[in-house]
Structure 1
Amino acid sequence: MSPVSTLQPKKVLFIATRQIGDVLVTTPLISKARQLWPDAEFHFLGYKSKLDMLKGNPDIDQVIETSDRPGIREYLSLFNKLFQRYDLAFVTQPSDRAYIYGLVAAFHRVGVLGGHPQGIQSSATEKSNRQNAWKKFISMHTVNVDYFSQHVITEKLRLLEIFVKNPSNLFSEPINVTPPIGEALTPAITNALTQPYVVIHPGPLTAYKRWPLAHWQKLIQYLVGHGLKVVLSASPAKQDLLLNEDILSLLDNDTRSRVIDTAGRLSIPQAGSLLRGAKLYIGVDTSITHLAAACNTPTITLFGATPPTNFGPWPNGFIGKQPYQLRARSQTIGNITILQGPGECVPCRKAGCIDHPDSNSECLDLLEVDQVIQAIEKLLAQ
């Protein structure tokens, strides 16, 4: 552990150049940094279309957007905008590009370093160590990723360890994820919400995080049969729109008439408004699940390959470093329930059973609808 830094930055840059969920999980770090430096100016650098999770965030003074694959002109423009403008940069992802941005932008840096899961051969670990060497050299403090034992929010908060005398104090008070401010829903959607409703978001970024179509069909029939309206959510991505269409095609006409399909029709702030009014949210391992938890909506999430100890949705108000167990068929912390399928290999942190984005995951295929229904009944009873 490095000595405590006395740095009092006036301008700070947070860098999260990945997906919208990765942006959202930086908000506890930003909130805690604001407590340390109440008068500092905070900027945030991320990819275009991935920063809506920060809309209205009271701790962010400016958002800087860049393409995920910028050309030479955009790189030059961005570097000119960033060059040595900041006292401190928080590099919250271990990518080379994120570290280069931090090196260009700030006089000092702290950052997350990548690694390999347990059991990966030592040669890969040695290669990772070589790749991380220059990142350590340019940083005043680094935190290693631990995909199985360390929650991603704990990982981000530990970037502040060098600035506090007692690092355990970072986890001694309630920790919250800050959602974006809400935006009004369209009248068509608002007028359709005439009874208590459940939001379902079945579409993950990759196929290996999917739950079978027939399971969604049975679950929706159960919810509708118990007097609940079902709101189907999805991103505008073609694969997510098609997934929702496939689910709807399996429903009988009566059930279908009590389902509202909002696929591709909501911004992230609008999704937040929808979630805040929901009686319950059910989804897979995806960013909207983290948003539901941040909005304090009772949440049930279906996990397969991903370790919940690393990326389970954070239960707002939790005190400590780790809310979850690595493996449990069902675990509830606060108003968040994580369900996992059977198998000693769960969670493997691979891309499904054949370690490919288009793979299926047997653990999710075998996660029965009855297990989800039991979790629903328990949450609704509360």
Structure 2
Amino acid sequence: MTACSALRPKKVLFIATRQIGDVLVTTPLISKARELWPDAEFHFLGYRGKLDMLNGNPDIARTIETSDRPSLKEYLSLFFKLFQRYDLAVVTQPSDRAYLYGLVAAHQRVGVLGGHPQGLTPQDKEKKSKSDRQNAWKKAISLHTVDVDYFAQHVITEKLRLLEVFYKNTQDLFDKPISVTPPTGEPITPSIAIQLHSPYVVIHPGPLTAYKRWPLSYWQTLLTWIVKHGFQVVLSASPAKQDLQLNQDILSLLDEETRQNVVDAAGLLTIPQAGTLIRGAHAYIGVDTSITHLAAACNTPTIALFGPTPPSNFGPWPNGFIGMQPYQLRARTQTVGNVTILQGPGECVPCRKAGCEDRASSKSECLDRLEPIQVIEAFQCAIMK
């Protein structure tokens, strides 16, 4: 038995200083760590307002919030709150800040290292070389590190591999069903709950960035078809201004009959309430965003519209999957468990760029060419299961 496999930490800090979805995908890692260390106390450090995905998680004793741009005063406060309080820090993002938090907080660390895929272009190789130099100090302070692979390695696998140093056989991490733990549900806002009738379908059209958007007219076609076939639609969105406006733009295109069968829940539900709503849905349809991962975790039939993002890296995990990789890199339609991932055509798909112009406001031709009929056919298959 190695020194690492013999480690029995009493207090462990998980660090995920990014978005809501990045917090959710750490839950299989947390569950597996609980199997390893049943008596340890687990804490979680993340950004303020991003930790709702851990609501009611039975393995987390305490969450610690920090702002994404801390002041000097907040840094000092966090330093004294964390300083050497933990036996192990599990750094689930490759940022310098996350590693510094881990260095301050714990005696030992394991962590994810950023990088670029090798063997593609001279520019990629140059970036990889620079990344390796930047990662040297992170490796030096860590018991074990795992390299990011944005095309071939799923993010759930990436996180679970942080524990491989504590196993004699790495395959033991992946030989049992792996599931994402959704937040404990909360009662739906009464103004929304009173409007619901079964069967209903939850649709979440708003991504974090414009290059993951599906065309407005396609949403119009899809919602009209769903309503005509006897389903109520619940249109979901975050409270962000652009998401609220997107839902209004979609609603403005609907005819009166369709509109009467659409409930606009935009900005009115917390993450735990959204989980309750999705659990009661006949199906869920959404773009590449955190709520789509939540839908998959709730075991609801989930249809995910993917553009530039490789599903082999960040496709919603099909709960109960056994193994390291549920998805192909490219397939117009692929279904694993309760999740169906749809991609548009093109040899460039997925490129992992910020749209065709590689900027946040860009369009993505692959999503423009992912036509409504493909989504409708996937929906029909999902509800027939």
* Equivalence for 1:92: 92
Say whether 1:207 aligns with 2:206: no
Query: How much does 1:150 deviate?
Result: 0.2
Partner Cα separation in structure 2 for residue 325 and residue 82 of structure 1: 41
Partner Cα separation in structure 2 for residue 187 and residue 235 of structure 1: 18
Gaps of 5+ in 2: none
Partner Cα separation in structure 2 for residue 141 and residue 230 of structure 1: 47
Partner Cα separation in structure 2 for residue 22 and residue 123 of structure 1: 27
* Equivalence for 1:72: 72
* Equivalence for 2:50: 50
Report the AA paired with residue 147 of structure 2.
Answer: N
2:5, 2:168 within 8 Å by CA — same for their partners in 1?
no
Alignment of 1:161-180 (within 5 A): 161-180=164-183
Query: How much does 1:3 deviate?
Result: 6.8
Query: How much does 1:262 deviate?
Result: 0.4
Report the AA paired with residue 47 of structure 2.
Answer: Y
Three-state SS of the structure 2 residue aligned to 1:344 is coil
Deviations 1:79-128 (A, max 9, x none): 10000000000000000000000000000000000001342522211110
1:3, 1:162 within 8 Å by CA — same for their partners in 2?
no
* Equivalence for 1:108: 108
Partner Cα separation in structure 2 for residue 224 and residue 375 of structure 1: 16
* Equivalence for 1:141: 144
Deviations 1:347-382 (A, max 9, x none): 000000000000000000000100001101111111
Report the AA paired with residue 74 of structure 1.
Answer: E
Once the two structures are aligned, what percentage of the paired residues are identical?
75
Say whether 1:229 aligns with 2:232: yes
* Equivalence for 1:333: 336
Say whether 1:193 aligns with 2:196: yes
Report the AA paired with residue 81 of structure 2.
Answer: K
Alignment of 1:331-370 (within 5 A): 331-370=334-373
Query: How much does 1:38 deviate?
Result: 0.4
Three-state SS of the structure 2 residue aligned to 1:192 is coil
Gaps of 5+ in 1: none
Alignment of 1:148-297 (within 5 A): 148-297=151-300
Query: How much does 1:6 deviate?
Result: 1.4
Deviations 1:120-147 (A, max 9, x none): 5222111100000000000000000000
Say whether 1:381 aligns with 2:360: no
Partner Cα separation in structure 2 for residue 319 and residue 36 of structure 1: 18
Query: How much does 1:336 deviate?
Result: 0.5
Structure 1 residue runs of 4+, over 4 Å off?
none
Query: How much does 1:4 deviate?
Result: 4.4
Partner Cα separation in structure 1 for residue 77 and residue 196 of structure 2: 46
* Equivalence for 1:125: 128
Change (3 A) 1:3 1:87: closer
Query: How much does 1:188 deviate?
Result: 2.0
2:308, 2:352 within 8 Å by CA — same for their partners in 1?
yes
Report the AA paired with residue 342 of structure 1.
Answer: P
* TM-score for both structures, normalised by structure 1: 0.99
Query: How much does 1:55 deviate?
Result: 0.4
* TM-score for both structures, normalised by structure 2: 0.98
Three-state SS of the structure 2 residue aligned to 1:364 is helix
Deviations 1:162-211 (A, max 9, x none): 10111101000000000000000122211211221000000000000000
1:207, 1:357 within 8 Å by CA — same for their partners in 2?
yes
Partner Cα separation in structure 2 for residue 368 and residue 187 of structure 1: 35
Deviations 1:247-301 (A, max 9, x none): 0000011111110000000000000000000000000000000000000000000
2:189, 2:268 within 8 Å by CA — same for their partners in 1?
no
Partner Cα separation in structure 2 for residue 3 and residue 153 of structure 1: 25
Say whether 1:318 aligns with 2:289: no
* Equivalence for 2:301: 298
1:4, 1:165 within 8 Å by CA — same for their partners in 2?
no
1:20, 1:53 within 8 Å by CA — same for their partners in 2?
yes
1:15, 1:98 within 8 Å by CA — same for their partners in 2?
yes
Report the AA paired with residue 343 of structure 1.
Answer: G
Partner Cα separation in structure 2 for residue 145 and residue 343 of structure 1: 25
Partner Cα separation in structure 1 for residue 316 and residue 205 of structure 2: 16
Partner Cα separation in structure 1 for residue 130 and residue 268 of structure 2: 44
Report the AA paired with residue 109 of structure 2.
Answer: R
Question: Structure 1 residues 201-210 or 111-120, which shifts more?
Answer: 111-120
